[in-house]
Amino acid sequence: LYKVAVLYKPDPILSYFYRQNRKEWVYHKNLSLRKSLSGFLSFSWIDEMIWKARKQFLTKFEIWDLDKSESSRNVIRKFKLSKKDDSRLFSNLLKFFPTQILVQVLLSLTTSIMNFVPTLFMRKILDYILDNDSQSSNSMWSCAYLMLASRIVSAVCHNQAQFLGERTTIRLRTILISLIYEKTLRRNVQRSLLSTRALGNHQCATELEIEENEREISVINIMSVDAFKVSEVCSTVHNAMEACFMILIAFYLLYCQLGWPAIIGSLVLLAFLPVNFKLSEMFGRLQVDAMSLSDKRTSKLNEALQAIKIIKAFFWEEFFMQKIKFVRKGEVSLLKKKALLMTCSHFIWFINPTIVSLITFSLFIYSEGSSLQPLLPLLISRSLQFEEHL
């Protein structure tokens, strides 16, 4: 839904298509969608196309075109106007996306704060249940309604951050691929002129250009794939920012509630990081080995398919089959090791909160010499929040 919303965003929704029988451009505008704030926040402006696609296949006449601000020509033109020749590419990209990055930071911060609001209100409600005379019932009803409102605000901010990240991803992908092809075309022109002057033989120069073009085509394909992977970072960067903000807010709230045992619990949590890093490193090595074996198996299969007539003529089926099975056996062994590492990683991920909570609350009770009665609302609200996440 996010990628569909990015491609056909409602500000403004301007669709045009080429009608073949009349040979003219036809424009369609939907002003009601542009004026609806609720439609923009809930992405309801795309519902019509989604329901139509569910019932029937969409034709090219029914699909909206990109907004003018999202077209490759306008994006590249704005980027070239904003960039500096003496700066690095990363610096130019940061200068080109300052508004998107700032808005994503604000939305991530709002989402992180709103995620903790229900827990704080749940604490107040549980305090009221234990002591009815502490606060009025009307304030508790207000807390319940605010819990619902905070969840709605959190969901809206998270979705808008995701939407903005997808838009930034498409723009960044357009810029990177355009720069790659532009540099390649410039090098082709310069190399053709130099090779023609140096060799003086047009036929030799043409053969040299063909060889260089073949190498550059493979390089362009690899760099284009890398550009796609790099641009995908923008669609998930808000998740990393939300995680950082939530860690800081959670640590502050725990320190206000528990004191120094919260620091000990955080240190215990940090103690598990080397184990996770080691597992991630091992998983990365296994992933590289598995990819190399997959490439080897694919090359063996292609070799067998290309020479299938010769293999059938000399009865070499069993020999080639054993070679492919040997590579596949090593690939299956690596898959089993990856599954084992993934199991260990998930086990540590699930056991971490239990160990940290046990150590933190044990130190708090031991140091303060208090009972569990003051912590009862906190424990109940934490349990309810854990059940909600499950």
Per-residue pLDDT, 30: 44
Same domain, 24 and 54: yes
Same domain, 238 and 91: yes
User: Which of 17-26, 33-42, 123-132, 341-350 is predicted most confidently?
Assistant: 341-350
221 pLDDT band, cuts 50/70/90, is low
Span 96-149, pLDDT tens digits: 777 888 888 888 888 888 888 888 888 788 777 777 776 777 888 888 888 889
State which of 238, 256, 274 marks the end of a domain: 256
Is the pLDDT confidence value at 31 over 50?
no
Same domain, 66 and 92: no
In whole angstroms, how far apart are CA 112 and each of 35, 41, 102?
Answer: 29, 18, 15
Same domain, 311 and 361: yes
How far is the C-alpha of 34 from the C-alpha of 377, rounded, in Å? 46
Whole domain around residue 23: which residue ranges? Answer: 2-70
Same domain, 104 and 19: no
Is the pLDDT confidence value at 190 over 80?
no
226 pLDDT band, cuts 50/70/90, is low
Per-residue pLDDT, 236: 76
State the CB neighbour count (10 A cutoff) for residue 261: 21
If you average pLDDT over every residue of the chain, what do you get?
A: 73
334 pLDDT band, cuts 50/70/90, is confident
Give the residue, 30 or 357, on which the prediction is more confident: 357
Nearby residues of 213 by Cβ (< 8 Å), 6 or more positions away: 188
Burial class (CB within 10 angstroms; exposed 0-12, middle 13-18, buried 19+) of 318: exposed
Per-residue pLDDT, 28: 45
Same domain, 78 and 210: yes
Same domain, 263 and 317: yes
Question: Residue 26 belongs to what H/E stretch?
Answer: strand 24-29
State which of 70, 91, 124 marks the end of a domain: 70
9 pLDDT band, cuts 50/70/90, is very low
Report pTM: 0.61
389 pLDDT band, cuts 50/70/90, is very low
Same domain, 32 and 174: no
Is the pLDDT confidence value at 238 over 70?
yes
Same domain, 343 and 195: no
Per-residue pLDDT, 337: 87
The mean per-residue pLDDT over the stretch 141-167 comes to 87
Same domain, 315 and 378: yes
The mean per-residue pLDDT over the stretch 2-22 comes to 40
Question: Residue 24 belongs to what H/E stretch?
Answer: strand 24-29
Q: What percent of the chain has pLDDT over 90?
A: 0
Is the pLDDT confidence value at 18 over 70?
no
Amino acid identity for residue 163 in this structure = F
The mean per-residue pLDDT over the stretch 18-22 comes to 39
Nearby residues of 296 by Cβ (< 8 Å), 6 or more positions away: 327
Name the H helices within 2-136.
Answer: 2-7, 31-35, 37-42, 47-55, 72-82, 89-96, 98-130
State the CB neighbour count (10 A cutoff) for residue 42: 14
Same domain, 243 and 382: no
Per-residue pLDDT, 193: 52
Per-residue pLDDT, 219: 64
Is the pLDDT confidence value at 153 over 80?
yes
How far is the C-alpha of 156 from the C-alpha of 49, rounded, in Å? 21
The mean per-residue pLDDT over the stretch 208-225 comes to 61
15 pLDDT band, cuts 50/70/90, is very low
Give the sign of the dihedral formed by CA 60, CA 63, CA 68, CA 73. negative
The domain tally of the chain equals 3
Burial class (CB within 10 angstroms; exposed 0-12, middle 13-18, buried 19+) of 199: middle
Same domain, 349 and 320: yes
State which of 27, 54, 70 marks the end of a domain: 70
